[in-house]
Structure 1
Amino acid sequence: MKFVFDLDGTICFKGQPVSDALLKALEELVAQGHEVVFASARPIRDLLPVLHERVHHYPMVGGNGSMVAAGGARISTVGFDGEVLPVLLQLLTTYNVSYLIDGEWDYAYRGPADHPIRLHLDPHKLARNVPLQELESIVKILMLTSDHMAELEERLRQLDVVVHAHGGEGVLDISPKGIHKWSGLQQLGVKEREYIAFGNDANDISMFRHALHAVMIGEHPQLAPYASEQLPLDEQIERAIAERLTALGRLYAVASV
């Protein structure tokens, strides 16, 4: 069985790396013959610092599906097409947007130095912060602040792009048309109803919808209808996840699949 994990708010918390206890639980799944996949809104570049290097070869979906890697090598990236991209870039100016824009590896950041997104951005200095015009391909846009965020969101939803609003952060997360975590998983050969998903936010809906079993961490009203079960987000969450992985690993043992 394949086990697919979102990162932030699901198996790592407050910008800290995945704990050794949870890493060991994931590695135990692999030892039993299961496959572990990470699927995050973070670009691949920013997955690596919160994952120990001993799991860097595991399959990864980054940028909400715009980036896919396996065995430590990039498989594919998908950028915005030439029609919608100029419109998106014009909106940055029209609405005085601060942003984090990801290319295939490097990024362009314009915004407050103390913004939470900036504080956790590329901590290992694996990439370069370059002027926007130097990014040859743009695969993901985070709009952090704006003079008129509600109006900006309305404009974005009229475009042929995927928009996720992170209510707790007040951030708009924009991906190319047809790009989401499920599309990224398909690039890895993951098939419908042949994996178990763990997630916590609206950008996990696509992978929850196609999962055999979906575990929601904490509470999210948009995600909840697609969840098979929920684990409360409290001080015991890591222990609860590890115990659930043990149980699910035994239930979906390779020999029975």
Structure 2
Amino acid sequence: MKVFVFDLDGTILMDSHNIHPSNLKAINLLLEKGKKIVFASGRMLPSVRKLLQRYFDVEFPIIAYNGSVVWTNEHGKIMELKIEPQRASQIVQKLRSLNVHRQAYVDDKLVVEEDNEHARAYSEHSGIELTFVDDLAELVAEHGATKLLAIAEPERLDAIIPELRDEFDDVLIFKSFSNYLDFVPSQTDKGRALKVLAEKLGFDLREAVAFGDNDNDVALLRSVGLGVAVRNGTKSLKEVADVVVEENFLGGPGNFLLDLFDRGWFD
């Protein structure tokens, strides 16, 4: 295997949002062996880059916004998909009417119209400053959105998902965390984004290994030669995985790879 693709939150990050030491050790060993490392996250691009710069001196290819953006340091944004302006505005207005927190990702900025605990907690989690506007629906009506996000209690989101999917059936709507509901362009998924990256950089998806934990990683694991889920992952992801490893907080992906190193797989 020549390419290793890692989801971040819930996979190689502990619940403290730090990379588990076993995962860090394994990734550095892979780099020493000349393997290509890719990170694929639901996070916005600046958030992924900022997090990785805490641990590494090199820039990696990144799939961000659950596959809406593909970026490399050499080429910049290879792909960027957006929810078209009118539709994005309609979604924001709908979420406002449902009285749930909503935020938009516009030109790599995290934009909100209310200063509340959800916005502040997300800003702290992502490491990205908030940009405030008076009317979020008006902003996205002009610019569109790379992604929209609703934040609420899990039960509240579960209750409104059917209505939202029925009304906005041309947009992908799914949970990236129990209390995060993502809205992305219909053609967005990490698997498709990885294919775009593979074509640009010239690697074979059959020689790739991918690690994930949530439903937004299903297409990613299906697209590669070996799909690995962490034990804390969703049922649907573990059903499509070739291998299930220990939980994220135990460093499951790293321990799996370190065991392969010990067995001489990379010699």
Larger proportion of helix: 2
Where does the alignment leave 5 or more consecutive residues of structure 2 unmatched? none
Letter in 2 for 1:142: L
Alignment of 1:42-53 (within 5 A): 42-53=43-54
Q: 1:203 aligns with which of 216, 227, 233?
A: 216
What is the DSSP-based 3-state SS (H/G/I as helix, E as strand, rest coil) of the residue aligned with 1:193? helix
Contact 1:200–1:223, Cα closer than 8 Å, also in 2: yes
| 1:175-214 to 2 correspondences below 5 Å | 175-189=184-198, 191-214=204-227
Residue 172 (1) aligns with residue 181 (2): yes
Matched, 1:14 2:27: no
Deviation at 1:8, TM superposition (A): 0.5
- Gaps in structure 1 of 5+ consecutive residues: none
Contact 2:190–2:220 (CA under 8 A) maintained in structure 1: yes
Q: Give me the TM-score of the superposition, normalised by structure 2.
A: 0.80
Measured after TM superposition, the shift of residue 108 of structure 1 is 1.2
Provide, for residues 97-147 of structure 1, a one-character-per-residue CA deviation record: whole Å limited to 9, x for no partner.
21121112112123632568425344264xx51323445231111111389
Aligned length: 249
Matched, 1:217 2:230: yes
Matches within 5 A, 1:223-242: 223-233=237-247, 237-238=250-251, 240-242=252-254
> Which residue pairs with 2:100 in the alignment?
97
Give the structure-1-normalised TM-score. Answer: 0.83
1:147-195 CA-to-partner distances (Å, cap 9, x unmatched) read: 96445311322221111125632x2111111101112212212644231
Give the corresponding residue for 1:137: 144
Pairwise mapping of residues 13-162 of structure 1 onto structure 2 (< 5 A)?
Answer: 13-19=14-20, 21-53=22-54, 54=56, 57-71=59-73, 73-82=76-85, 84-109=87-112, 110=114, 112-113=116-117, 117-123=121-127, 125=129, 129-131=131-133, 132=136, 133-134=138-139, 136-145=143-152, 149-150=157-158, 152-158=160-166, 159-162=169-172
RMSD: 2.9
Counterpart of 1:228, as a letter, is D
Counterpart residue type for residue 203 of structure 1: N
